[in-house]
């Protein structure tokens, strides 16, 4: 990954972990829906500037919308019953595992020895977080929801990478996906939550605005990096945000900084960095 992209992805990781913390501390589904509306309002004017998607791009956009909606619903379910410092690293730290699997099944790409070692390190860190000595094993439904969210992220990363490399360019794909994804998820969230979602968003207007701005910035940088770097590297580098998530959980959400939790978060970060830096086979 080129140095500029690496620095921007680290910043995007910080923004990403921050808006996830906001979602965790509020009414998750409603804040996710509200921040999407903020992103769509800010992005909508650009739809009149960038090229419209071609016929070959629309199937990619539709697949991306479905995966993004599934990811957000799974994420909200995971955050309802688990601490941020545990659910976030599981939901994000397992993404490179699924990305490696999807790359092998879809593209017959096998990781190199160093990347495989990084994946093993990630697994060890995740297993440690899932079974904390202080709080006991993580709830099975929470763990399943976090794993489902990770699978969705890995899948939409591959799909979005293809979209950013269409003839219209990454800017066009980014604008159309953000606007359509936001509106699609708002419909999904309204169906699940009902009319109360409007009052939920109004009551949490400031967190919604902040989360929307952070989410928009981090996702735009992510798609830009996907358009010019190897997918596996970008995906893994983005998930280094687990370190930021652990820090936020301890410093701001007053979650207990157990030695096991800190060691596991460090293991995940080391594994992710290994996967991101080393080249595939």
HSE-CB of 96 using CA atoms within 13 angstroms: 37
Predicted local distance difference test score (pLDDT) of residue 75: 78
Place of tokens 């699997």: 101
The residue range of the domain holding 246 is 3-277
Predicted local distance difference test score (pLDDT) of residue 40: 93
Predicted local distance difference test score (pLDDT) of residue 171: 93
User: What gap in Å lies between CA 8 and CA 217, rounded to an integer?
Assistant: 10
Q: Bridge-partner residues for 132, per DSSP?
A: 136
Q: How many domains does the chain have?
A: 1
User: What gap in Å lies between CA 85 and CA 252, rounded to an integer?
Assistant: 11
- Three-state DSSP at 174 gives helix
Place of tokens 């969210």: 149
Residue 142 has which token pair?
A: 């929470």
Predicted local distance difference test score (pLDDT) of residue 7: 80
* For helices 28-43 and 196-203, angle between their N-to-C axes, nearest 10 degrees: 80
CB atoms within 10 A of CB 225: 27
- Give me the phi and psi of 136, to 5 degrees please: 80, -175
Predicted local distance difference test score (pLDDT) of residue 241: 73
Place of tokens 């993404």: 95
Q: Are 42 and 194 in contact (CB under 8 A)?
A: no
Cβ neighbours of residue 169 under 8 Å, at least 6 residues apart?
50, 51, 227
Residue 236 has which token pair?
A: 């893994």
What is the residue-level pLDDT of the chain in tens, covering all 281 positions?
A: 667 877 888 788 888 888 878 877 766 678 888 888 999 999 999 999 999 999 999 999 999 999 988 888 887 787 776 667 667 777 777 787 787 777 677 666 666 777 778 778 877 877 776 666 445 556 777 788 888 988 998 898 889 988 999 999 999 999 999 999 998 888 888 887 788 888 888 888 898 899 899 989 999 998 998 888 777 777 777 777 777 777 787 777 777 777 877 888 788 778 877 776 766 55
């Amino acid at each position: 990954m080129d140095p500029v992209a690496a620095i921007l992805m680290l910043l995007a990781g910080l923004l990403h972990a921050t808006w996830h913390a906001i979602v965790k501390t509020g009414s998750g589904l409603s804040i996710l829906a509200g921040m999407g509306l903020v992103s769509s309002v800010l992005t909508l004017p650009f739809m009149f500037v960038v090229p419209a998607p071609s016929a070959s791009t629309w199937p990619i956009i539709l697949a991306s919308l479905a995966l993004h909606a599934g990811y957000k619903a799974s994420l909200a379910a995971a955050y309802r019953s688990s601490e941020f410092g545990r659910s976030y690293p599981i939901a994000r730290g397992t993404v490179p595992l699924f990305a490696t699997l999807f790359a092998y099944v879809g593209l017959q790409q096998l990781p190199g020895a160093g990347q495989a070692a990084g994946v093993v390190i990630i697994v060890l860190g995740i297993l440690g977080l899932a079974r904390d000595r202080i709080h006991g094993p993580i709830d099975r439904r929470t763990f399943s929801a976090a794993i489902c969210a990770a699978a969705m992220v890995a899948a939409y990363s591959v799909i979005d990478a293809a979209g950013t490399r269409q003839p219209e360019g990454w800017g066009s794909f980014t604008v159309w996906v953000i606007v359509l994804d936001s509106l699609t998820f708002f419909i999904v969230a309204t169906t699940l939550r009902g009319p109360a979602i409007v009052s939920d968003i109004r009551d949490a207007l400031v967190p919604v605005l902040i989360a929307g701005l952070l989410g928009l910035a981090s996702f735009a940088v992510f798609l830009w990096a996907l358009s010019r770097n190897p997918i596996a590297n970008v995906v893994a580098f983005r998930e280094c945000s687990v370190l930021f998530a652990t820090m936020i959980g301890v410093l701001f959400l007053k979650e207990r900084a157990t030695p096991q939790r800190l060691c596991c978060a460090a293991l995940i970060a080391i594994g992710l960095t290994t996967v991101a830096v080393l080249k595939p086979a």
